[in-house]
Amino acid sequence: MTPTILYVEDHPDNMTLVRRILQSQGYTLIEANTGSKGILIAETQDLDVILLDVNLPDIDGHEVARRLRTSKKTSLATVPIIAVTANAMKGDAQKALDAGCSLYMSKPINIQELIEKVNDFLIRKYEEINHDA
């Protein structure tokens, strides 16, 4: 089963970079360029990880994370959400975590770190599934 990752990002260059990175790892990538589209996709697709930009044109990423965590689709309460943002001021990481993100990563994206973090979340998920089986 191929892991499915949602990337909510409005900047085409960032989307292209992450698409190349994740597809090279064999992952299925679903793309959304607004927070609203990201929420709709998350509520209708089975996802393994969500990558979320904070600065989106309609709803900021913090609000997207809050809505996902309180969605009627209960599985979204535990899907890992990685905030990927250019916001790198003191307190930005804590804001993302407080909003429900599992991890904060700053841009520019460190390719190796992104791969490692996504893989870590996927390994944990499949270990939990196998443990519960």
Res 133: pLDDT: 52
The label of the residue with tokens 């990002």 reads 9
Burial letters 82-97, b for 16+ CB under 10 A, else e: bbbbebeeeebbebbe
Banded pLDDT at 86 (limits 50, 70, 90): confident
**Nearest-angstrom CA–CA distance, 57 and 42:** 18
Q: Is 51:18 a contact under the CB 8 Å cutoff?
A: yes
* pLDDT in the model for residue 124: 86
The Cα 48–Cα 93 span in angstroms is 22
Whole-number Cα distances in Å, 27 to 23, 24, 49, 92, 101: 5, 7, 10, 28, 21
The rounded radius of gyration (Å) of the Cα atoms in the chain is 14
Predicted confidence at residue 44, as pLDDT, reads: 97
List Cβ neighbours of 20 (8 Å cut-off, separation of 6 or more): none
Q: How far apart are CA 49 and CA 52, in angstroms?
A: 10
pLDDT of residue 92: 85
| pLDDT tens track for 56-72 | 999 999 999 999 999 99
75 is written with which tokens? 């599985």
Give dist(CA 35, CA 41) in Å, integer.
10
Higher pLDDT residue, 90 or 10?
10
